[in-house]
């Protein structure tokens, strides 16, 4: 049958759409190696040169290593690591704990006279992973400045209070939550008894550290840990979990 004007327009749009999809697939194939690793797409960031556009969908920034004539797009958090800035913005587990511990040890070995800055916005998580980070904060020679930028709950609040004394800070609308450790056990009666004793032991150690870090009596801390205990930034400062609330520079 004869092709109508509407059919021709529709066919033209379909050809355009298919061309765009094909180019997208070609770009994706070019951007990744067969093993799934991104190719090193570099651009010279010398005098008068402009970096290529940031890859869409990934938080990356242009970076040129000192002494290098070429630059590359790097993950924004890796870029922050180079400025001694750590960001704990997820639930605490073994993977994120190991990553942050590795970065802290490297930065401390590189220069232990400069402080590290740990921004915390975490709902908490694994006690063992949090304790590993806590011990590393106390192990490194560098000062660790902790800043609450959203919610520091459970082990997040524990790490917030673990920062260098006088350098534990919070933004005005951030919140802090403390509570006792939670857990569960199943199996034989003796195994459940062992797990229960371990949880009570962890609770005792956490309460002792909260009391030491905040300056509150241990008996009061034990009562406050009995249930979820939420505090504003200013209440956390009065409690002793942070030393200062960062006031907004714009007077909001």
**Residue entry with tokens 């049958």:** 1
Q: Exposed, middle or buried by CB within 10 Å (0-12, 13-18, 19+), for 169?
A: buried
Please give the backbone phi and psi of residue 162, each rounded to the nearest 5 degrees, phi first: -80, -5
Among residues 126, 164, 179, 232, which one is catalytic?
179
Distance CA 116, CA 113 (A): 10
Among residues 154, 157, 174, 214, which one is catalytic?
154
Active site residue 154: yes
Distance CA 157, CA 124 (A): 8
Q: For residues 198 and 173, is the Cβ–Cβ distance under 8 A?
A: no
DSSP of 165-209: TT-EEE-TT-EEEE--------SSHHHHHHHHHHHHHHHHHHHHH
What contacts 171, CB < 8 A, 6 or more positions away?
147, 148, 149, 150, 233, 245, 246
Active-site positions?
A: 154, 179
């Amino acid at each position: 049958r004869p092709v109508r004007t509407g059919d021709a327009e529709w066919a033209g749009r379909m050809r355009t759409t298919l061309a765009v999809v094909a180019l997208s697939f070609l770009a994706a194939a070019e951007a990744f190696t067969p093993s799934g690793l991104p190719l090193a797409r570099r651009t010279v960031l010398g005098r008068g040169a402009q970096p290529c556009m940031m890859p869409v969908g990934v938080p990356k920034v242009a970076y040129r290593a000192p002494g290098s004539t070429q630059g590359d797009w790097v993950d924004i958090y890796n870029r922050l690591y180079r400025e001694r800035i750590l960001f704990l913005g997820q639930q605490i587990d073994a993977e994120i704990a190991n990553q942050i511990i590795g970065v802290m040890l490297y930065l401390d070995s590189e220069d232990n006279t400069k402080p590290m800055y740990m921004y915390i916005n975490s709902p908490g998580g694994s006690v063992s992973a949090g304790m590993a980070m806590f011990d590393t904060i106390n192990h490194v020679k560098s000062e660790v400045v902790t800043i609450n930028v959203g919610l520091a709950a459970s082990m997040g609040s524990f790490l917030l209070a673990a920062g260098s004394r006088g350098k534990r800070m919070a933004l005005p609308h951030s919140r802090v939550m403390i509570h006792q450790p939670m857990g569960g056990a199943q199996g034989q009666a003796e195994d459940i008894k062992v797990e229960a004793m371990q949880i009570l032991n962890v609770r005792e150690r956490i309460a002792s550290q909260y009391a030491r870090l905040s300056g509150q009596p241990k008996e009061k801390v034990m009562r406050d840990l009995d249930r979820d205990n939420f505090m504003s930034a200013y209440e956390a400062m009065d409690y002793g979990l942070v030393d200062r609330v960062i006031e907004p520079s714009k007077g909001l």
